Structure 1
């Protein structure tokens, strides 16, 4: 089963209640509404409830008020936004109960690269086209080239350790 995002659930719940999110922060979750419908034992009543709730969700989606987001969509978005500070939304949190690791590393490939001076490199990666910068690279550092494998690991104060082709990690940051 595909998962609703928190945002979609809140918007759909507000639409089911007939009020805006600002007016009703305690509006029922559309998944909870569907569960309540499924719990109805009388077939005709259950079908009527499911029709009513699903019609409200479909209508909201057709208006563009609600978007159903799959786990794959969330992962692609997280990969594309890696390196930026994200707002504290449940949509971007990692669910450790399902066995996934926290999203603090990213593996990608260098799409393009250029050297700005003896110790500074700027390069784009294939995942979302993000641009990264390495400043103060050590003298023995071999700069990035298109096709190189790159691994980013979250470090302190918004910086990242960047490893290109298994070299020693160097400090860098995302610049776009």
Structure 2
């Protein structure tokens, strides 16, 4: 009973630490962009133009020094898709979140092999490599077959071939 109490306390601390660490990053509008947009409020045309020139020059310098980086939504989704399955920080929703969160990918099997436990190692056409973590034997992942990898419970992933049972997997490459 004592071991159970200690273990429950350790688990509670681990969960509390995870909740603490999971606070979202506050993105907001970068100061350089805000200052540029604030120039629109200046009524006098010559002062407004001077403000735009000054702030555009400062923004150009920030971009050149890589202190300010722009990423369009499509590139962010492509990056999020290429990282699907890896345990990465949220980066304030840069790679999705909410309605844009990637919950599954679809691809085809490029090649297969076996891991040290005898489970499947499956390389997909997109270059991602997935290793089986359960002992379900009933999967036939021949090259060229369509597969779907979905987020599952407790941060796990499930790879399935339409019409067949799926297996639990983790991304290894």
The equivalent of 2:106 in structure 1 is 107
The TM-score, its normalising length taken from structure 2, stands at 0.71
Equivalent runs, 1:88-103 vs 2, <5 Å: 88-90=90-92, 91-96=94-99, 100=100, 102-103=101-102
Alignment partners' CA distance in 2, 1:139 and 1:111? 20
- Conserved in 2, the CA contact under 8 Å of 1:149 and 1:165? yes
The TM-score, its normalising length taken from structure 1, stands at 0.70
What residue ranges of structure 1 are gaps of 5+ in the alignment? 1-5, 14-28
What residue ranges of structure 2 are gaps of 5+ in the alignment? 1-26
Distance 1:47 1:122, change over 3 A: same
RMSD, aligned CA: 2.5
Displacement after TM superposition at 1:146 (Å) = 2.6
Displacement after TM superposition at 1:118 (Å) = 9.3
Alignment partners' CA distance in 2, 1:43 and 1:108? 55
Alignment partners' CA distance in 2, 1:155 and 1:138? 16
The equivalent of 1:132 in structure 2 is 130
The equivalent of 1:44 in structure 2 is 46
Spell out structure 1 runs of 4+ moving beyond 4 A.
Answer: 116-119
3-state DSSP of counterpart to 2:48: helix
How many residue pairs are counted as aligned between the two chains? Answer: 146
Counterpart among 126, 144, 147 of residue 144 in structure 2:
147
CA offset digits 1:126-173 (Å, max 9, x no partner): 33x22101244534321x233222211111233211112442222111
Higher helix share: 2
